[in-house]
Amino acid sequence: MSLTSPNDKPALRRELKRRRRALSAEQQRQAALALCQRLKQLPEIRRAKRISLYLPVNSEIDPTPLIPWLRKRRVAIYLPVLRPFSANSLWFVAYDANTPMIHNRFGIAEPCPRFAVQRRHRLPAWALDTLIVPLVGFDRQANRMGMGGGFYDRSLSFMRHPGPAPALIGVAHACQQVASLPVEPWDIPLTAVASDTGVVRPIKTG
């Protein structure tokens, strides 16, 4: 199978999701701890005061062991929320132990609508310092394959233009890395990808 042909993306996405599902609960737990140790070393995490992360589903690597460390550093934490009445885009809503939660249509836990719609609980994506984003696959150039819905690409489309913008840190299990991925014109580049075994960054040219 050619990993560089866009026609292979559905099959590749299925294979990479199969790889992470094959990990045992203990392998998942150890991977999450190793990932969070790596995240703590990244300058984009260490200097951030406003961070968005996600609550994992379907064997995604778990970034939530990072939360106590972030709380000690008085970092404000936000979660992505499906934006109501909008095509595949996200809000970023404040999150703590008292945030009322529901499960959205994909079975992902998120702050409930009556909480999320209040502007005082939301932050525009450009005002975040760092986003920790899930992915299905990544390559050695830190290219990202997502779930295919385009939620992050649409929500971060402003990053194609000059102005304030967050660092984007993709996270995944090491088994989700491939040699190369096709890059689409609408893809928003990542700052780096962190896994349980290492960190990759795009190689700058020119």
pLDDT 10s digits, 142-155: 999 988 777 888 88
Sequence-ordered alpha helix ranges (H) in the chain: 9-21, 25-39, 43-46, 67-72, 113-116, 151-155
CA proximity to 193, closest of 129, 132, 125, 146: 132
Residue 196 has pLDDT above 80, yes or no: yes
State the pLDDT confidence band at 137, using cuts at 50, 70 and 90: very high
**Span 53-63, average pLDDT:** 96
Give the SS3 label for residue 48: coil
Judge contact between 132 and 171, C-beta under 8 A.
Answer: yes
What does R_g of the chain's alpha carbons equal in angstroms? 16
- Is the pLDDT confidence value at 87 over 70? no
Q: Using DSSP, state whether 63 is helix, strand or coil.
A: coil
Strand partners, 97: none
Rounded to 5 degrees, what angle do the CA atoms 189, 50, 181 make? 15
pLDDT at 42: 98
Cα–Cα nearest to 191, from 180, 181, 204? 204
| pLDDT greater than 80 at residue 97 | yes
Strand partners, 103: 109
* Bridge-based pairing state of the strands 199-200 and 192-194: antiparallel
Inform me whether the pLDDT recorded for 2 exceeds 70: no
Mean per-residue pLDDT of the chain: 91
Query: Is the per-residue pLDDT at 3 higher than 60?
Result: no
The predicted structure's pLDDT at residue 54: 96
Longest dimension (CA), the chain: 48
Going through 87-203 in order, the beta strands assigned E by DSSP cover: 90-94, 101-103, 109-111, 130-134, 137-138, 144-145, 167-171, 192-194, 199-200
| Segment of 8-22, 39-53, 184-198 carrying the highest mean pLDDT | 39-53
Q: In the predicted model, is pLDDT for residue 36 greater than 70?
A: yes
- Alpha-carbon distance 183 to 171, whole Å? 18
Given a cut of 80, whether residue 177 has pLDDT beyond it is yes
> Is the pLDDT assigned to residue 63 strictly greater than 70?
yes
Whether 30 has a pLDDT exceeding 90, the answer reads yes
**Is pLDDT above 50 for 1?**
no
- 165: its two tokens: 């913008």
Least confident of 21-25, 33-37, 107-111, 169-173: 107-111
Q: Walk me through the domains of the chain, giving residue ranges and CATH numbers.
A: 6-78+124-198 (3.40.50.10420)
